[in-house]
Amino acid sequence: MRRFLSWGFLCAVLLGITLNVQAQTGPGTSDNDAALELLEALDVDSYRDKGEAITAILQSDDERARDWLQALLDGRLQRTGSGRFVVVLDNAGRNWPVEDALTHEPLGEMSRRELDRIGINNALRNQLRSAIAVVDLYSPSVERRRISAERLLGEVDGELVEPINELIAEEDDSQVRTRLTQAVAIYRAEQGEMEGVEALTGSLHPRARVALGRAAHGDDPVVADAARNALASVEQNLKINRGIETLYFGLSLGSVLVLAAIGLAITFGVMGVINMAHGELMMLGAYTTWMMQQLLPGQPGLALILSIPAGFLVAALVGVAIERSVIQFLKGRPLETLLATFGISLILQQLVRTVISPLNRTVITPEWMSGSLVINDALSLTINRMVVLGFALVVFAGLVLIMRRTRLGLEVRAVTQNRAMARSMGIRATRVDILTFALGSGVAGLAGVALSQLTNVGPNLGQNYIIDSFMVVVFGGVGNLWGTLVAGLSLGVINQILEPWAGAVLAKIIVLVFIILFIQKRPRGLFPQKGRAAEG
């Protein structure tokens, strides 16, 4: 395959030279006759003959060569019963839209029974991928050149080194240059050359590590020793990157816990209510996001943005209904509120199952939240988790401003510290309770909106986070926002560190035991809250 690749690379030079001329003049009748012969050579039983036909297509000056090879690789190059070569545009459904392989003329739809696919085996697939990669190095598309350079890692031989070095000197995209340089260095390292080993030192790409491993077992002791040192350095860098990745995933998990617990911390701190329906308020926020996407099909980004105020409002209104219908009659009786809100949580779950569906729903992630931010070959950070982390910090900052800079925040802090004294100062504690419960419930709705971008939306969504939310509240300090932030992020990171070697279930048990032992020493949590909630 390497010998074919070298030949394909040199042929690609000819393709690049003749491309502009062909594009201006277009294929004529004689060109189509020659192209038809090239395609007919593919329609044979012998895979060896097909390989030679692929090489012939590469050697041709035809500007359509790349499209034919890609269609052949994808299984879209087919032949009709009359012997006409066509390219399938979309192979979904019973009838497929096709176009003429020579003229690109649309031919309408054809049944799959009318078409005969030109078959290939794995060896030909590898040959086609390499050939397309070589041809694509001359493409005006930067993205196509990047993909091509990536495919060449580990596929370069001695005949390709010189042409690739010339391309490196001419290439204006740094990512393509880096990959091509690595491709040459991998070949040289595998050949036992010190220059290749030195160029790969510090590279975290898996193919580079394989090449260094081979060089470390080479005959030259100097090169082998240098390769072993380079591998040791790479392994150390990999450990650092894995640590950064673990920290990132821990913080993203912790941000979800912060969103889930911060509303609970407010209501628990002010009213002393153990709200077991808090998880279902999160679920309602997630379902609000899903419903907004149903109302705005094809616009997931706009739907998500509108879901933020909508999810807050829906959860807040449901929270007010719960407070007015049940909780106001159970003030001062934590056990009764726990049992009552647990019953409400079951009612809300069954209501969603009946009205919507017991099945999970998928919320579409907007394009601007999809993908990953690639830091290096060993570290990439998912953008959706990064957005959720930032969203959690924004919500936290907003709550801090409300609690510190508004009249509602002042009244909430007064009621939290001493309800009787607050009443005597003219603060309507009942109004504060309603607004506080609405605020805490609304934040739970925001947590649901964020969770919809990380997991499927279902009736049991909130149950997965309610226990962890209470642990965050107790660990951080009841009613303390900063304590909730520190505790949530800390527990997220601790869970992420423990899970790889202890497993998900055992990791949670270890965290629970740690919190139990911790509150034996500090019953009021990391940041104890002054006032009635702390004393109770």
**Bridge-based pairing state of the strands 372-376 and 379-382:** antiparallel
Per residue in 464-501, pLDDT (tens digit) is 888 888 888 888 877 678 888 888 899 888 888 888 77
Per residue in 128-163, pLDDT (tens digit) is 877 777 777 877 888 888 888 888 888 777 767 887
- For residue 302, the model assigns a pLDDT of 93
- For residue 131, the model assigns a pLDDT of 74
What are the sequence ranges of the domains in the chain? Answer: 2-136, 241-531
CATH of domain 241-531: 1.10.3470
Which SS3 state, helix, strand or coil, does residue 374 take? strand
Which residue positions in the chain have pLDDT lower than 70? 1-31, 61, 159, 269-270, 479, 529-536
- For residue 114, the model assigns a pLDDT of 85
Query: Percent of the chain at pLDDT above 90?
Result: 18
489 token code pair: 């992020």
Which SS3 state, helix, strand or coil, does residue 79 take? strand
DSSP symbol at 105: -
- β-partners of residue 77 are 87
Cα–Cα separations (whole angstroms), residue 250 to 245, 253, 456, 467: 8, 5, 20, 18
Phi-psi domain of 332 (left: phi exceeds 0; alpha: psi -120 through 50; beta: other): left
Give the whole-angstrom CA distance, residue 491 versus residue 258.
10
210 token code pair: 């394989």
299 token code pair: 């616009």
DSSP symbol at 114: G
339: enclosing H helix or E strand: helix 334-355
Please list the alpha-helical segments (H only) found in 41-111: 47-59, 65-74
